[in-house]
Amino acid sequence: MVSFPQINLDPLRRLWDSGTAPVSQALLKHLTVDEGEIRAILAEARAQLPTTEALLLGKPQAGKSSLIRGLTGVSAEIIGQGFRPHTQHTQRYAYPSADLPLLIFTDTVGLGDIGKPTAELLTELTQDLDPDPETGVKAQILVLVVKITDFATGSLREIARQLKSQYPHLPCLLAVTCLHEVYPRLETEHPPYPPEFPDLLRAFEQIKTDFAPHWDEAVLLDFTLEEDGFNPVFYGLEALGEKLTALLPEAEARAIHQLLEGETEKRLGGLYRDVARRYILAFSIAAATLAAAPLPFATMPVLTALQVSLVGLLGQLYGQTLSPSQAGGVVSAIAGGFLAQAVGRELVKFVPGFGSALAASWAAAYTWSLGEGACVYFGDLMGGKKPDLKKIRAAMEQSWRRNHSAEGLEKSG
């Protein structure tokens, strides 16, 4: 169970009552969350995830990035930008983020290049495969990625042999890629899976023989780009999922299955949102407290500063570091038609007695809605997707209808 820090709102109420200036600066000081505290929350949540660490062995252009693209649904550009140096000869890509990874891919850089020190690479790989002294053994799998036209794989076979000799229980998947390169000359479409072209099958059997007995499962894949004209783009993806789930422990296998079925995005999004909502609740209560002031428009600058601060904090939770001006830009982009409601919230203060109470409820609901919209926005970015404005607005509208009263806010918290 993930625990959350508590934000004390009493100083904010005393601050407003005393009229101390500048209100906005003091307000943001009280609502600032320490980065170390955020890291501790995410570390606790990360321990609950069935993270699979996949070690990808293959030459350049063998299709390793395409395999990641097929499993995650993330674009090639985002994957390329997401790789981070890990050791001298390896790089890593964590999906959907380094803070809460479901999949961690370790890629060997330049394997097969002339003069590449195989011994040094093996030393680095064994360090990755040895149990972490703090977290213990994690689910791991070795994936050998071989292009179907490549039979000069001596260095790759030797590395696979040594790794399997040292780690005999490490599951190994042999993924043979780029199938369309050996299709008959006039064949421009994928056949029903699995393909049965004689030349392709002979090449597949030869590669399996070359790498025997170091692999446990083998699969044929052809992951292309849309502009290549092949349909489906991820040919063999279902078979890949079946092979992975056969080799991984139950929890990790279930996570892979959910990922391919599109369920994992919702589950991980929910995990992030559960953390985020604790902060959204505190900011919403603060917004209601400030909006209860009787003078119209006096609280607008303060509430704007508060909501910009909220968006900046949520971005930090999702791995996006924003300046105040950038956070303000996100607020403007996702709030849209809610601006008119914000102005209306201020105008109702002219109604004696009734106006301030209603404005407080509306301020809280608007702040909560903004937070929910920001979670969708940052969630899309985290998944390597372009933020969907319609989906963001729908989330805000749903939150607004649910939280437009104090009772609704209590239920959401």
125 domain-assigned: yes
Under 8 Å between Cβ of 174 and 208: yes
Domains identified in the chain, total number: 2
5 domain-assigned: no
pLDDT tens string for the chain (413 positions)? 333 334 444 444 454 444 434 444 444 444 444 556 656 666 666 676 778 888 899 988 899 989 988 887 777 776 777 777 776 777 888 876 676 677 888 887 766 654 556 777 777 777 777 665 554 445 589 999 999 999 999 888 988 998 898 888 889 999 999 999 999 987 888 999 999 999 999 999 999 999 999 999 999 999 998 888 888 999 999 999 899 989 988 767 777 776 666 655 555 566 677 767 767 876 777 677 666 555 444 455 666 777 788 888 888 777 777 887 888 888 888 876 655 554 454 444 444 444 455 566 777 788 888 888 888 888 888 766 778 888 888 888 888 777 654 444 444 44
Identify the pLDDT of residue 139: 53
C-alpha dihedral, 255 to 256 to 260 to 262, nearest 10°: 20
Do both 115 and 27 map to the same domain?
Answer: no
Q: Of 248, 276, 305, at which residue does a domain stop?
A: 248
Do both 124 and 244 map to the same domain?
Answer: yes
Do both 222 and 295 map to the same domain?
Answer: no
37 domain-assigned: yes
Do both 189 and 296 map to the same domain?
Answer: no
Do both 40 and 56 map to the same domain?
Answer: no
253 domain-assigned: no
The pTM for the full model equals: 0.63
258 domain-assigned: no
Do both 59 and 207 map to the same domain?
Answer: yes
256 domain-assigned: no
Question: What CATH number is given to the structural domain containing 91?
Answer: 3.40.50.300
216 domain-assigned: yes
Do both 382 and 282 map to the same domain?
Answer: yes
343 domain-assigned: yes
Do both 27 and 63 map to the same domain?
Answer: no
In sequence order, which residues have a C-beta less than 8 Å from that of residue 221 and are 6 or more positions away? 63, 67, 70, 175, 176, 177, 179, 235, 236, 237, 239, 240
197 phi and psi angles, rounded to 5 deg: -65, 130
Do both 24 and 159 map to the same domain?
Answer: no
Q: Of 222, 248, 274, at which residue does a domain stop?
A: 248
Tokens in use for 109?
A: 């850089």
Do both 310 and 197 map to the same domain?
Answer: no
Q: Of 198, 223, 248, at which residue does a domain stop?
A: 248
The domain containing residue 300 runs over which residues? Answer: 10-44+265-412
Do both 299 and 150 map to the same domain?
Answer: no
Do both 103 and 223 map to the same domain?
Answer: yes
**56 beta partners:** 107, 143
In sequence order, which residues have a C-beta less than 8 Å from that of residue 298 and are 6 or more positions away? none
